Structure 1
Amino acid sequence: MYPKLIINLKKLEDNLNACATITKDHGKCSLMIVTKGLCADKEMVKMVAENPNVDFIADSRVKNIAGFADTARANGKKTVLLRIPMHCEVAEVVKYVDLSFNSELSTIRLLNEEAAKVGKVHDILLMIDLGDLREGIFFQNQELIYEAVEEILKMENVNLYGIGVNLTCYGAIIPKNENLSQLVAIARDLEAKYGIKLEMVSGGNSSSIYLVDKGELPEGINNLRLGESFLLGNDTAYETKLPGTVSDGLILQAQIIELKEKPSLPIGEVGVDAFGEKPYYEDRGIMKRAIIGIGKQDTDLGSMTPCDPQVEIMGGSSDHIILDVTHCDREYKVGDIVEFELGYGGMLKTATSPYVEKDYIK
């Protein structure tokens, strides 16, 4: 059945191993693989869990982690919650998550209380905001960092495993030696001030990996968190392809449900489309237009690239995507399958949609 996402597990594992060479062999960092890009697909998680290069398996959703915690732990991998826990999910976090990212003392107190109830010690990574302005204690507010650390160190059922930063995802701030060196400086300051050893100084995600090849990852950063790098082969700071990786480990297939010649300009007064946007149309004369049975509910049109370079995406609605196949050498017909490589947004929505089947190449 279509639409269908083809997941080539062999290519993804090759990507993972290429990322491990950069991250572990060259960067001397532990490797945290992030599964949320494929909605923690079970076959993908199994492959990741069995790979000896992987140290941690992470996701932003507790529900996803609950689904793979047993698999991860059975293979000696720690589970990690990337998104700061909500108060309402603290019990599940303590149960399924080995290491959670945190920035709010009220949440850390609840984690401590819940861990005490079940006789556990829960590891946390204290997040520091270096200017991307998403989660974390702002790096310039040293006293707030000290206050948080001092209270955490008094807790009996929470362990301060380390500190971390997130860059690029919200503010699009690119990791550099300069800003990541500030994270290392904070770590060393905390260790000296409180007589502790931080196991992890996590220097970001797929936007930080390029620093390894440039020889600019600061000494003291000892962990990177990679999702898009291994799924799509990308360095997300400058959108370059990482050596040894491919971008076609994931292929979206959709079926043509209508194929007709029509004008390129709609007829009548143009208002807004189903998503409240006013579209612009260019007059190209009569077109051969193919409609495929997938839409904006299931994918992101802006991060889909037709595998046939002569196919052009014209637009779409919730359940339809319109393609221009006028100049294609292939004679498309109704029922034919059109294939697409995916960017991050397309991958994320497609993997999450219950209307997209999954098939695997192993």
Structure 2
Amino acid sequence: MLENTLINDIHIKSIEEQEGFPSLEVNLKKVYENTKYVVDLCENQGISVAGVVKVVHAMPQVVSEMDKAGCKYLATSRINQVIAMRKQGVEKPIMLIRIPMHSEIKQLVEYADISLNSEIETLKKINEECKNQNKEHKVILMMDLGDLREGVVDQEEFLNLALYVEKELNNLRLYGIGTNLGCYGSVKPTEDNLGKLCDVAEKIESLIGRELDVISGGATSSLTLIWDGKIPSKINNLRIGEGILVAKDLDDFWKYDMSMLHQDSFILKAQIVEVKDKPSHPIGEIFIDAFGNTPTYED
């Protein structure tokens, strides 16, 4: 049974419990089934899944279901969640899926196995901390394919960065390369832009004389290419959170049939405290609201 806990003033509880509002009911069986479906779908294409748990604050019960259902990695963008998962006894590789701040590097090396990176100065600091802790840390270098989130834009700069990590930073392992799409810049994952990532991966492999472990082709939005049969064969990893836990984006925005996945694994409940008929426009002189803004209202 899921423990009744409180996160950001919301009670997190199992479907059997009834007390405390607002409450978020979590159906762990449905989380497991969604994870298993997505993992199997990806594995049939030779793609591993990093199960992203940031949206659920790395809740141990949800992490456990995603772990049991076959995620190869467990991933989050929050260093405190990385630490929590490790202290909870997670044995699978834990991935920090955003560039670490310099203030986090000591904890990153201590608790995380893999991190996404694009800045040479940050990589140098991670390498130095690995030396201090007598550890090796795996890095996935991020390439910006147009979404303008993290990543190196220029291909030559990216190749040089990969070579530098491989040849000069002895405490780091160049584990792979990756990209983010469908995020800040709303850029759609396509066979073409992910194909460019694969081309760069092949160039890096030629330069370093070995295969990269991971070519990470994005997040939930990249699942569309699997269903369309268009994902490049060299892509061997996706970082999936929403597509497992909620499974609404591809249905609502991409118009894919997601009926094979549960969309009610999480149900937010609250009690109504007032029911009144009121005008649709505020009455009185308009100035600012509680947030310092001056909204406009249509009657």
Q: Give the structure-2-normalised TM-score.
A: 0.88
| Aligned: 1:39 with 2:57 | yes
Q: Which residue of 1 aligns with 2:213?
A: 199
d(CA) in 1 for partners of 2:255 and 2:133? 44
Q: Which residue of 2 aligns with 1:3?
A: 22
Q: 142, 146, 157: which one pairs with 1:144?
A: 157
Q: What's the secondary structure of 2:273's corresponding residue?
A: strand
| Aligned: 1:22 with 2:36 | no
Q: Please tell me whether the aligned partners of residues 210 and 235 of structure 1 are also in contact (alpha carbons under 8 angstroms).
A: no
After TM superposition, the structure 1 = structure 2 runs for residues 239-278 of structure 1, keeping only pairs within 5 Å, are 240-275=256-291, 276-278=293-295
Q: Please tell me whether the aligned partners of residues 117 and 151 of structure 2 are also in contact (alpha carbons under 8 angstroms).
A: yes
Q: Which residue of 2 aligns with 1:238?
A: 254
Q: List runs of 5+ in structure 2 lacking aligned partners.
A: 1-19
Q: Could you say if the C-alpha distance between residues 239 and 166 of structure 1 is closer, same or farther in structure 2, counting changes exceeding 3 Å?
A: farther
Q: What are the Cα deviations for residues 94-142 of structure 1, in whole angstroms up to 9, with x where unaligned?
A: 011000000001111111111111111100000000000110111xx22
d(CA) in 1 for partners of 2:22 and 2:256? 29
Q: Please tell me whether the aligned partners of residues 49 and 71 of structure 2 are also in contact (alpha carbons under 8 angstroms).
A: yes
Compute the displacement of 1:262 (Å).
Answer: 3.0
Q: Could you say if the C-alpha distance between residues 110 and 91 of structure 1 is closer, same or farther in structure 2, counting changes exceeding 3 Å?
A: same
Higher relative contact order (CA 8 A, sep 6+): 1
Q: What are the Cα deviations for residues 137-160 of structure 1, in whole angstroms up to 9, with x where unaligned?
A: 11xx22211221221112211000
d(CA) in 1 for partners of 2:89 and 2:155? 36
Q: Please tell me whether the aligned partners of residues 205 and 211 of structure 2 are also in contact (alpha carbons under 8 angstroms).
A: yes
After TM superposition, the structure 1 = structure 2 runs for residues 118-267 of structure 1, keeping only pairs within 5 Å, are 118-138=133-153, 141-153=154-166, 154-236=168-250, 238=254, 240-267=256-283
d(CA) in 2 for partners of 1:22 and 1:83? 25
Q: Percent identity?
A: 37
d(CA) in 1 for partners of 2:170 and 2:277? 71
d(CA) in 1 for partners of 2:219 and 2:48? 12
Compute the displacement of 1:15 (Å).
Answer: 1.3
Compute the displacement of 1:277 (Å).
Answer: 4.3
Q: List runs of 5+ in structure 1 lacking aligned partners.
A: 283-362
Q: Please tell me whether the aligned partners of residues 174 and 212 of structure 2 are also in contact (alpha carbons under 8 angstroms).
A: yes
Q: Give the structure-1-normalised TM-score.
A: 0.73
Q: Specify which structure has the higher proportion of strand.
A: 1
> Rg: which structure is higher?
1
Q: What are the Cα deviations for residues 284-304 of structure 1, in whole angstroms up to 9, with x where unaligned?
A: xxxxxxxxxxxxxxxxxxxxx
Q: Please tell me whether the aligned partners of residues 49 and 71 of structure 1 are also in contact (alpha carbons under 8 angstroms).
A: no
For the aligned residues, what is the CA RMSD? 1.6
Compute the displacement of 1:239 (Å).
Answer: 5.6
Q: Which residue of 1 aligns with 2:5?
A: none
| Aligned: 1:91 with 2:101 | no
d(CA) in 1 for partners of 2:237 and 2:254? 20
d(CA) in 1 for partners of 2:93 and 2:89? 7
Aligned amino acid, residue 62 of structure 2: M
Q: What's the secondary structure of 1:47's corresponding residue?
A: helix
